[in-house]
Amino acid sequence: MTESAACTAPERRAIFEERRDQIHRIGEGEFSLACNRDSLAGAVSQRACVFCGSRVVLYPIADALHLVHGPIGCAAYTWDIRGSLSSGPELHRLSFSTDLQELDVVFGGEKKLAKALDELIARHAPKAAFVYATCIVGIIGDDIAAVCKAASLRHGIPVLPVQSEGFKGNKREGYLAACTAMRQLVGTADVSDIPPLSVNIMGDFNLAGETWIIKDYLTRMGIAVVAGITGDGRVDDLRRAHGAGLNLVQCSGATQDLARMMKEDYGTPFLRVSWIGIEDVAESLYAVAEHFEKTRPELAAGLMERTAELVRGELSALMPKLKELRADLEGRKAAVYVGGSFKAFSLVKAFRHLGMEVVIVGSQTGTEEDYRELAAICSPGTIVVDDANPLELSAFIREKDVDVFVGGVKERPIAFKLGVGFCDHNHERKIALEGFAGMLNFAREIHASVMSPVWRFAPRREAARNLKSEEA
């Protein structure tokens, strides 16, 4: 963003007059924030489409076939879209598309889809297949449900339609489409060998091995993990997920719909948790122990004691290391813009352990209740924004003069162009950022980003230093 392109905050607010009710500055009037609405046309929101939402949720199911029914352009969301590590099969890393052409649009793509399914299932022998409908499929009217049903009968595996036409709304609608597809798998396998003290880890996608970290904690507590939904996911685990005693929902936007469906269908209770940051990880583990102590007291003897011992051990190793990093970070400022609002809550708390203040915070899929709670834990003057766009984010970063920006792949260029450190907290990261170990990794990454000598050569930083020198 060049200086000529920059404009004052009032001018930017005038440009995005229609967006004014999705931006709130804490302390300036009564809290009110509109959210969960379609993105403003022409604003190029940081959100993605319905198809993207469904694809990122289902992608980590590693032994399933994922076939995108649509033009090849939609395959941008197929090729290894997330890290999503697998402890076994890696069929999810292969990318398949029916590559609809002009003639297919005119005459329909159902035959092409059926042929693709026959070829791919015979070649890869998946446990199940997901077929994603894209915008053009919704427009031309291909009946993918009928094609999937016929393919399922031919091949003897579940072939599941994902009604994720992009024009249906925003990314949240894609999450619902994914949960609706998974609902057809849940409840189709035997659960007689699942112990009562058991959980499903929902809303974690094992981007850099995080599911394994959380699974290790739960195992040390004495809790069995039935399914990762969908991190390190398996079709057979999903089919028996209804046998778990509790669902642990981290990304509420992505998987809470499935948790509600399972509560309705099978009576499975669920807890909202977060595996990011010190307080939230500890509170989540204690909440699991407390739930089973109340519901299955005859089986939960010693559970809370084991949990407390685990937390004490992890914190005794972590806190001295954080103290060393905090010495350099005290007083620095951060901006946070993430997909799920649960991350924003945990990151605000995590930055406090580093002596840093979050001055800009937002998400793609938060609800009004989420933002109210978020505003309650942020300082006056903090900018809270829903469904932001690059122009707004650039303006706010300049205004608040932040030291580091936490976001995803679409936010990285904004930070670097403005001479600001960046931390990827989304699907391209290679370092685990969940659990107590993840908190240390996060602190080290923030420290390396903020303290890098490269920022001495960034024009924005140089101008800021000169101005402070003149004022002194």
Strand partners, 335: 360, 405
- pLDDT above 90: residue 291: yes
- Say whether both 333 and 276 belong to one domain: no
- Say whether both 403 and 300 belong to one domain: no
DSSP states of 105-142 as a string? HHH-SHHHHHHHHHHHHHHH--SEEEEEE-HHHHHHT-
- Say whether both 343 and 434 belong to one domain: yes
CATH number, domain at 288? Answer: 3.40.50.1980
- pLDDT above 60: residue 411: yes
- Say whether both 30 and 123 belong to one domain: no
CA distance 239 to 235: 6
- pLDDT above 90: residue 441: yes
pLDDT at 153: 98
pLDDT one-digit tens code per residue, 353-387: 999 999 999 988 777 888 888 889 999 999 999 88
pLDDT one-digit tens code per residue, 128-171: 999 999 999 999 999 999 999 999 999 999 999 999 998 877 77
Has residue 191 been placed in a domain? no
Mean pLDDT of 390-410: 90
DSSP states of 153-167 as a string? HHHTS-EEEE---GG
Mean pLDDT of 241-267: 94
CA distance 174 to 97: 18
Provide the sign of the torsion angle of the four alpha carbons 317, 320, 324, 326, taken in this order.
Answer: positive
Q: What is the residue range of 235's domain?
A: 198-316
- Say whether both 32 and 83 belong to one domain: no
Which residue, 181, 212, 227, sits at the end of a domain? Answer: 181
- pLDDT above 60: residue 7: no
Q: Taking CA 349 as the corner, what is the angle to CA 345 and CA 352, rounded to the nearest 5 degrees?
A: 145
Which residue, 132, 154, 181, sits at the end of a domain? Answer: 181
pLDDT at 37: 65
- Its pTM stands at 0.89
Has residue 275 been placed in a domain? yes
pLDDT one-digit tens code per residue, 300-342: 999 999 999 999 999 999 999 999 999 999 999 999 998 777 7
pLDDT at 455: 84
CA distance 344 to 337: 7
pLDDT at 40: 52
CA distance 80 to 93: 5
Has residue 254 been placed in a domain? yes
- Say whether both 34 and 73 belong to one domain: no
Has residue 365 been placed in a domain? yes
- Say whether both 31 and 54 belong to one domain: no
Which residue, 316, 342, 364, sits at the end of a domain? Answer: 316
Which of 442, 413, 260 shows the shortest CA–CA distance to 343? Answer: 442
Chain centre distance of CA 290 = 26
Confidence tier at 3 by pLDDT (50, 70, 90): very low
> Which helix or strand (DSSP H or E) is residue 468 part of?
helix 459-471
Mean pLDDT of 443-469: 76
Average predicted confidence (pLDDT) for the chain: 89
- Say whether both 128 and 170 belong to one domain: yes
Assigned token pair, 445: 């990454």
pLDDT at 373: 86
- Say whether both 153 and 95 belong to one domain: yes
Confidence tier at 31 by pLDDT (50, 70, 90): confident
- Say whether both 236 and 157 belong to one domain: no
CA distance 245 to 365: 28
- Say whether both 112 and 71 belong to one domain: yes
% of the chain residues with pLDDT over 70 = 89
Tell me if 236 sits within 8 A of 283, measured CB to CB.
no
- pLDDT above 70: residue 207: yes
pLDDT at 5: 42
Split into its structural domains, the chain has a count of 3
Q: Which of 15-19, 178-182, 337-341, 435-439 is the least confident region?
A: 15-19
Confidence tier at 425 by pLDDT (50, 70, 90): confident
- Greater confidence, 296 or 40? 296
- pLDDT above 90: residue 255: yes
pLDDT one-digit tens code per residue, 265-280: 999 999 999 999 999 9
CA distance 185 to 30: 45
Has residue 189 been placed in a domain? no
- Say whether both 144 and 215 belong to one domain: no
CA distance 249 to 306: 22
Has residue 2 been placed in a domain? no
pLDDT at 16: 58
pLDDT one-digit tens code per residue, 94-140: 889 999 999 999 999 999 999 999 999 999 999 999 999 999 999 99
- pLDDT above 50: residue 2: no
